[in-house]
Amino acid sequence: MALALPELHFNRPQSREWTYAFLGSAIVYILWRWSDFLVWDDTSSAGFNAYSNGGHFALSRVTVIVKEAFAYVQSDGYRPISAIIRGIGAAYVLAYGPNPAIFIVANGLMCGLVLVLLLRFAREFLAQTASSYFASFLFLASTPVLTGSLVLFSGIQFLVFVFILATLNVYFAYEKCTDKKWLVVLVPLLIIGPWVREFVGIVAPLILVNELLHRRIMGAVSLIAAAGFLHALFPTFVMSLFVSDLPIAFVFNIGNLRNFIAPEASSENFTGLIARFHWRIVLDLFSILPPSLVLSALLIFTYRLAFDRTISGEHWRKEVFLLVFFAASFLPFLILFNSQVHLAYSLMPLSVLIAAQVEYVLKLQASPKWRAIRAVIFAVITIAVFDHATNIYAVRHVTHDIYNTIISLAHRFQREVPKGTIVISNAHHLEDIRLYANGHIDPWAAVGGIPDRSRWLYGADDYRRFFDPEQGQGVLLLDVRKPQLSGQRGSDRVFRQVQDPIFAIEMVGRIASVSSSYFFFDPLRLLLPTRVTAWTGPPDLEFDFYRGPSLDGALFGKEVAADYYLYLVTGDRIWRWAPHAVLLKESYFSFNIVGFRDRVYAIPQSEGAFDLEKIQKKLYSKTFVANNYDEILRQIDATLE
């Protein structure tokens, strides 16, 4: 007899509500995201596949894509489901170009599913339907979720939310009816989830926490959750039973997690580790959600904790579960990664917690004191809704401005430089330019970032390859500058070979710029430091651009900006003494002899440090200039005869 899954027992009006919510959210997302461009990480995956990896991922090789995804640990970890989707996406772009339409529709359907799952999840903790929609609005309209949803196949964020929320909803359904058929659904979700992204693995310990809160830790669901947690910790184990060469690996020893934890943590003491935490992300929470609302919710929760004795134990258990969920999804990012997009996970429980605090105040008896507080809360909610809704405009607006510039630059390179021209840049999005230029340029990274690490340039020796006479290609430097560095997360992403050159270059000029402004309503944003300004562009480009207060001084304005300067390499070698002057000999007949770039200078020792501008303006009492050390000694000696 066929196994029948348990019924959800939706009544007809509720089924209609879920349908409308699903379709409405899907349509809104599709209209919002609709465009003719992909963004990084999709562009980097597609560009690397097409121009660096020989088109390895092709639609004719889908079977190979699937086999490789399960058989190997990738550079970002063991995420075979995501690897399959990324590979097929890159193969699609290879075949049909960067046309995102089919991926936008697919992500729209997932967005609709996320809303339905989030509404069901929120109603486990909230009494009012309106409160669950408010929590969903806070989550889906947040900048981490909006910006993360720009990426269509190279790490689909909606898919992570689907597995986290679906697993928890299935667990709650089992908790209500104890129908063991729900466990048949729970098991595959716990297996597949960590193969989408490691972070889905937090669901298993969350189930164990809830079982512990209800004192039923030894039940069947606890055993399943414990096994699911072990699977999340060792995600390769199951497939290693079928793939002999696949190692059994601890999740923190592979991929991105290893890269962020291993290099320094092993040799640091506790104090050093604490100092390395990204404490900034605490303030990020006040930036990615309306700060007035976050502060109000925090004050309400503190009041309830200190003074309210009327709330039932079951209600507190639910809020403790949400707090544990929030801690588990937020605290790891004190040490892992450093982009705001990763805070999206913590917004699932946090949005519900905030809605719960608002719901609490609005339910209170209307005494004069509470009437005033409710009026304040209504004002805060109004400001928060308008402020949060501007994210929907801001992310689309900023992203379009950025990619209009990127595509324009790509077309300019296609028109004005020979195919295969080497372009070295400090911009993460150089790979985007290559993709939209149809591989016309040969990209190299001055600060890292492009996916092909063999093209990362670390020091002067790495640049010598470009002066090989047999190389035969022109070399351009594309310097992407922020108009201000103060308070910028990417302040260290400076093109040193332009600021302090080690070979001869000539400025072509400022060839493009991005200046994308938007507004906000919440006055508390004025108090937040620039460094935690919400990022409103594609997540992986967060460090390429200025983001902060409007550069024109508009009080309630924010801006994303960058200037693009192009330089031509005119030298035929790396200078001997660069980027800084080198003291070759001190006090040679009262002269200091200094090597700088490809020349040797002698300046009076008593007249201060070496300054090329002072030499050019003849501000030293006497100077000598020569092409080599021996020649300058002869010049000085000749004046003494």
Residue 18, pLDDT score:
93
Residue 125, pLDDT score:
95
Lowest mean pLDDT among 97-106, 135-144, 309-318, 495-504: 309-318
Is 413 in contact with 441 (CB distance < 8 Å)?
yes
Percent of the chain having pLDDT more than 90? Answer: 71
Residue 117, pLDDT score:
97
Is 71 in contact with 238 (CB distance < 8 Å)?
no
pLDDT level of residue 3 (50, 70, 90 thresholds): very low
Query: Tokens 């929030």 label which residue?
Result: 326
5, pLDDT greater than 50: no
- 158-193 burial by CB neighbour count: b if 16+ within 10 A, else e? bbbbbbbbbbbbbbbbbbeeeeeebbebbeebbeeb
pLDDT level of residue 366 (50, 70, 90 thresholds): low
Average pLDDT over residues 284-297: 96
| Segment holding 115, helix H or strand E | helix 101-122
Query: In 3D, which of 193, 187, 188 has the Cα closest to residue 82?
Result: 193
76, pLDDT greater than 90: no
C-alpha to C-alpha distance for 423 and 445, rounded to whole angstroms: 9
Residue 4, pLDDT score:
47
Is 190 in contact with 174 (CB distance < 8 Å)?
no
What lies within 8 Å, CB to CB, of 69 at 6+ separation is 80, 81, 83, 84, 87
Average pLDDT over residues 256-262: 73
273, pLDDT greater than 70: no
Query: Tokens 């002067």 label which residue?
Result: 460
What amino acid occupies position 30?
Answer: I
462, pLDDT greater than 50: yes
Is 153 in contact with 79 (CB distance < 8 Å)?
no
Residue 365, pLDDT score:
61
Average pLDDT over residues 203-224: 91
First to last CA, the chain: 112
Average pLDDT over residues 493-521: 93
Q: How far is CA 90 from CA 61, 537, 538, in A?
A: 12, 22, 18
Residue 461, pLDDT score:
83
pLDDT level of residue 460 (50, 70, 90 thresholds): confident
Which residues, listed in sequence order, are joined to residue 602 by a DSSP beta bridge?
593, 624
265, pLDDT greater than 60: no
310, pLDDT greater than 50: yes
**pLDDT per position as a tens digit, 85-126:** 999 999 999 999 999 999 999 999 999 999 999 999 999 999
Q: At what angle do helices 344-363 and 368-416 cross, to 10 degrees?
A: 160
pLDDT level of residue 280 (50, 70, 90 thresholds): confident
SS3 assignment, position 477: strand
Kindly tell me the sign of the dihedral angle through the C-alpha atoms of 119, 123, 125, 130: positive
Q: How far is CA 248 from CA 68, 226, 508, in A?
A: 16, 18, 53
**What are the tokens at 436?**
């939209």
Residue 218, pLDDT score:
78
- How many CB atoms sit inside 10 A of residue 231's CB? 21
Q: Answer with the residue of higher pLDDT: 279 or 287.
A: 287
Average pLDDT over residues 622-631: 92
C-alpha to C-alpha distance for 384 and 290, rounded to whole angstroms: 5
Lowest mean pLDDT among 29-43, 248-262, 348-362: 248-262
Residue 162, pLDDT score:
98
- Cis bond before residue 579 (omega within 30° of 0): yes
C-alpha to C-alpha distance for 363 and 127, rounded to whole angstroms: 10
Q: How far is CA 59 from CA 65, 86, 565, in A?
A: 9, 12, 38
Average pLDDT over residues 254-272: 66
Residue 466, pLDDT score:
87
Residue 268, pLDDT score:
58
Query: What rounded mean pLDDT belongs to the chain?
Result: 91
Q: What's the CA angle centered on 230, arms 154 and 219, to 5 degrees?
A: 120
Which residues, listed in sequence order, are joined to residue 514 by a DSSP beta bridge?
562
C-alpha to C-alpha distance for 369 and 354, rounded to whole angstroms: 21
C-alpha to C-alpha distance for 155 and 157, rounded to whole angstroms: 6
Query: Tokens 């309106």 label which residue?
Result: 130
Residue 499, pLDDT score:
87
Question: Across 154-168, 489-503, 598-612, which has the greatest mean pLDDT?
Answer: 154-168
Residue 534, pLDDT score:
95
- How many CB atoms sit inside 10 A of residue 506's CB? 10
**pLDDT per position as a tens digit, 388-440:** 999 999 999 999 999 999 999 999 999 999 999 999 999 999 999 999 999 99
**Strand bridging mode 624-626 / 599-604:** antiparallel
SS3 assignment, position 420: coil
pLDDT level of residue 371 (50, 70, 90 thresholds): confident
Is 526 in contact with 550 (CB distance < 8 Å)?
no
What lies within 8 Å, CB to CB, of 29 at 6+ separation is 104, 107, 108, 111, 112, 149
Q: What is the dihedral of CA 321, 324, 328, 334, to 10 degrees?
A: 150
C-alpha to C-alpha distance for 159 and 136, rounded to whole angstroms: 16
- Tell me the residue length of the chain: 641
Average pLDDT over residues 38-66: 94
Average pLDDT over residues 67-88: 94
Query: In 3D, which of 324, 312, 314 has the Cα closest to residue 353?
Result: 324
518, pLDDT greater than 90: yes
C-alpha to C-alpha distance for 423 and 570, rounded to whole angstroms: 14
What lies within 8 Å, CB to CB, of 346 at 6+ separation is 285, 326, 329, 330, 333
